[in-house]
Chains A and B, each alone.
Chain A
């Protein structure tokens, strides 16, 4: 993944994705499965009521974020954690690396975290000679293959079992198998040793609770629990908008997050971690360090796109998005793909780089209907498109075309003339192009509607 300012080559990425039938099949199967399971999972539940409640809680967080950040820092410190506030990716990386280096850490096990992808933490630690191992099975596969996750929840959905079997045989020296059970067992055994010998664990957090200073982590595999209880040092990296006001707000999200993500009633493991191991405790890391990261969030909070910060990263909007379903996550060339990803990418990485992915939406609104916290994604996407035009990022042809169209439709005489021209030139236009979008334009009618009205 590139972090340069150069524009994302979205069109080219899409062409590549669409020419890969295996990828398309895999993405289609994954998103269909998630959507079906979610639909089944929420049937006969008062989802509208739950979404409204969750959305209200998330708005309350955004409206009072400075207060909750302060409260969280105080509560977490009271519980014995050390809290660091980092303004950007660079300072977060430096903070994490500093904590690890001060304690002579050589090997780190990680539970899946999108924020650490966002700040490119792994390469930074590896450069400093620290071994970093992803432990979520999907992330582990993607890391072994030296690739990037293609879905925020199921990072390796773009790979087939045969590809994974070959990868394991090549990198781990085990016998080839394409049986997911066997492959999972191999990963379990390899990673079990790593858990037991790692010096530190790094996680993100699904939520952080302001009044108790707790971190909340959902996993299905159990790696989140391993990473936070087996090594003696736990470093958590999270962005400020992950906060919830109170532990009493947690149940709403315990109900909504897994159902929106995988359709499960609940993920296998939900851990609420409050501070490090205390006297008399036999659970938890001896030291807990929490890096609370801004990385552009305060700026977003002040502006007209603030509601994107309600997002809880469930990935429901990816799975229902007709564009994501066709092209998968890599084409977006960003940490966050899909509808919420487009908005975040534009805001976090800037319009110059992100403007091409603003095309990756049909504005159909399926994402809005699926969102468990009611992020008005279509409104945000439309506004970003307007902004991209205002800032001069529309392609020249589109700009010229639009102003020509504007001139034509604002004058009745020109409009009527245009209709006549269209009728005359339509057969030629068909022959000229012969394929592509032109062939899908319907034949203009002989007598236009407005003339019938006159």
Chain B
């Protein structure tokens, strides 16, 4: 499967699981998408460590340093798995994996070249040398514990937005 087909399969599956997905042709387009998404955001946590995080502009007046207090977390995640429509968060390089969990809205920038076709392909990357925390995040937080009524946003984000960017 070529990269383009893997990207579309990932976006299709992630959408099925309740995520909003966008594909940006370049960082300029990613910035425009992000500006739209953040227009009504109250406070934004962004680690500002990853290459794409540094290239993207977050309105400084809305920046929040404590992810526990933020209403949105914008971050460049490790990658994604097409087969399951999951984004992959990893603790490698000092990343705060739980930062994408606490705020009600998680905006994940997925590097296009790190979308893997299968779960096997993903775990093969590390072998036995796996980071402290690897989390596959598939759609928003959900529960059906009350009369099996699907309710979005329990302990994790009620909204997951994915921007695939080169």
Chain B residue at minimum C-beta to C-beta distance from A162 = B147
CB proximity of B61 to chain A, nearest CB, Å: 25
Find out whether the CB atom of A248 lies under 8 angstroms from the CB atom of B123.
Answer: yes
User: Given A137-B154, A268-B138, A281-B94, is A273 in contact with B148 using a C-beta cutoff of 8 Å?
Assistant: no
CB proximity of A17 to chain B, nearest CB, Å: 18
Determine whether B60 belongs to the interface, using a CB cutoff of 8 Å to chain A.
no
Collect the chain A residues with CB atoms within 8 Å of residue B157's CB: 222
CB proximity of B60 to chain A, nearest CB, Å: 23
User: Given A196-B68, A248-B120, is A283 in contact with B95 using a C-beta cutoff of 8 Å?
Assistant: yes
What sequence of 0s and 1s flags, for each residue 8-30 of chain B, a beta carbon within 8 Å of any chain A beta carbon?
A: 00000100110000000000000
Other A-B pairs, 18, CB within 8 Å; known A156-B146, A284-B133: A137-B143, A161-B147, A187-B154, A221-B156, A222-B157, A225-B135, A229-B98, A248-B124, A254-B119, A255-B119, A266-B17, A269-B138, A270-B138, A277-B132, A281-B94, A281-B133, A282-B95, A283-B96
Find out whether the CB atom of A284 lies under 8 angstroms from the CB atom of B132.
Answer: yes
CB proximity of A122 to chain B, nearest CB, Å: 18
Determine whether A308 belongs to the interface, using a CB cutoff of 8 Å to chain B.
no
Stretch at the interface among B34-42, B51-59, B83-91, B107-115: B83-91
Collect the chain B residues with CB atoms within 8 Å of residue A160's CB: 147
Distance of A159 Cα from B98 Cα, bound (Å): 32
Find out whether the CB atom of B133 lies under 8 angstroms from the CB atom of A271.
Answer: yes
* 214-253 of chain A: CB within 8 A of chain B: 214, 220-223, 225-226, 228-230, 247-248, 250-251
Find out whether the CB atom of A269 lies under 8 angstroms from the CB atom of B156.
Answer: yes
Collect the chain B residues with CB atoms within 8 Å of residue A280's CB: 94
Collect the chain A residues with CB atoms within 8 Å of residue B84's CB: 254, 265-266
Collect the chain A residues with CB atoms within 8 Å of residue B135's CB: 225, 269-272
22 intermolecular pairs with C-beta atoms under 8 Å apart: A79-B132, A137-B143, A137-B154, A141-B146, A154-B145, A157-B145, A164-B146, A184-B143, A196-B68, A222-B101, A226-B102, A247-B123, A251-B118, A265-B16, A266-B136, A268-B142, A269-B136, A269-B156, A270-B138, A271-B134, A271-B136, A283-B96
Chain B residue at minimum C-beta to C-beta distance from A282 = B96
Chain A residue at minimum C-beta to C-beta distance from B86 = A266
Q: Which of A33, A264, A266 has the most CB of B within 10 A?
A: A266
Collect the chain B residues with CB atoms within 8 Å of residue A251's CB: 118-120, 123
Collect the chain A residues with CB atoms within 8 Å of residue B101's CB: 222, 225-226, 229
Collect the chain A residues with CB atoms within 8 Å of residue B155's CB: 135, 188, 191-192, 195, 221-223, 225-226
What sequence of 0s and 1s flags, for each residue 67-106 of chain B, a beta carbon within 8 Å of any chain A beta carbon?
A: 0100000000000000011100001001111100110000
Interface range for B? 35 or more
User: Given A214-B130, A283-B95, A283-B96, is A180 in contact with B141 using a C-beta cutoff of 8 Å?
Assistant: no
Find out whether the CB atom of A284 lies under 8 angstroms from the CB atom of B91.
Answer: yes
Distance of A211 Cα from B127 Cα, bound (Å): 10
Binding site for A on B (CB under 8 A): 13, 16-17, 68, 84-86, 91, 94-98, 101-102, 118-120, 123-124, 126-128, 130-149, 151, 153-157
Q: Which of B17, B141, B146 has the most CB of A within 10 A?
A: B146
Collect the chain A residues with CB atoms within 8 Å of residue B136's CB: 254, 266, 269-271
What sequence of 0s and 1s flags, for each residue 420-450 of chain A, a beta carbon within 8 Å of any chain B beta carbon?
A: 0000000000000000000000000000000
Chain B residue at minimum C-beta to C-beta distance from A32 = B148
A-B contact count (CB 8 A): 180
Find out whether the CB atom of A29 lies under 8 angstroms from the CB atom of B148.
Answer: yes
Collect the chain A residues with CB atoms within 8 Å of residue B148's CB: 29-30, 33, 154, 157
Collect the chain A residues with CB atoms within 8 Å of residue B118's CB: 251
CB proximity of B67 to chain A, nearest CB, Å: 10
CB proximity of A72 to chain B, nearest CB, Å: 13
Find out whether the CB atom of A268 lies under 8 angstroms from the CB atom of B139.
Answer: yes
CB proximity of A120 to chain B, nearest CB, Å: 22
CB proximity of B97 to chain A, nearest CB, Å: 4
User: Given A225-B101, A251-B123, is A220 in contact with B141 using a C-beta cutoff of 8 Å?
Assistant: yes
Distance of A229 Cα from B100 Cα, bound (Å): 12
Find out whether the CB atom of A266 lies under 8 angstroms from the CB atom of B134.
Answer: no
* 261-302 of chain A: CB within 8 A of chain B: 262, 264-278, 280-284
Find out whether the CB atom of A156 lies under 8 angstroms from the CB atom of B119.
Answer: no
Q: Which of A248, A278, A281 has the most CB of B within 10 A?
A: A281
Distance of A180 Cα from B157 Cα, bound (Å): 17
Collect the chain A residues with CB atoms within 8 Å of residue B146's CB: 137, 141, 156, 159, 161, 164, 180, 183-184
Collect the chain A residues with CB atoms within 8 Å of residue B123's CB: 247-248, 250-251
Collect the chain B residues with CB atoms within 8 Å of residue A267's CB: 138
Find out whether the CB atom of B128 lies under 8 angstroms from the CB atom of A212.
Answer: yes
Find out whether the CB atom of B151 lies under 8 angstroms from the CB atom of A230.
Answer: no
CB proximity of A77 to chain B, nearest CB, Å: 14
Find out whether the CB atom of A265 lies under 8 angstroms from the CB atom of B85.
Answer: yes
Collect the chain A residues with CB atoms within 8 Å of residue B153's CB: 184-185, 188
CB proximity of B68 to chain A, nearest CB, Å: 7
Find out whether the CB atom of B85 lies under 8 angstroms from the CB atom of A266.
Answer: yes
User: Given A223-B154, A248-B123, A281-B91, is A265 in contact with B138 using a C-beta cutoff of 8 Å?
Assistant: yes
Distance of A284 Cα from B91 Cα, bound (Å): 9
CB proximity of B84 to chain A, nearest CB, Å: 4
CB proximity of A272 to chain B, nearest CB, Å: 4
Find out whether the CB atom of A220 lies under 8 angstroms from the CB atom of B133.
Answer: no
Distance of A247 Cα from B123 Cα, bound (Å): 7
Find out whether the CB atom of B156 lies under 8 angstroms from the CB atom of A266.
Answer: no
CB proximity of B153 to chain A, nearest CB, Å: 7
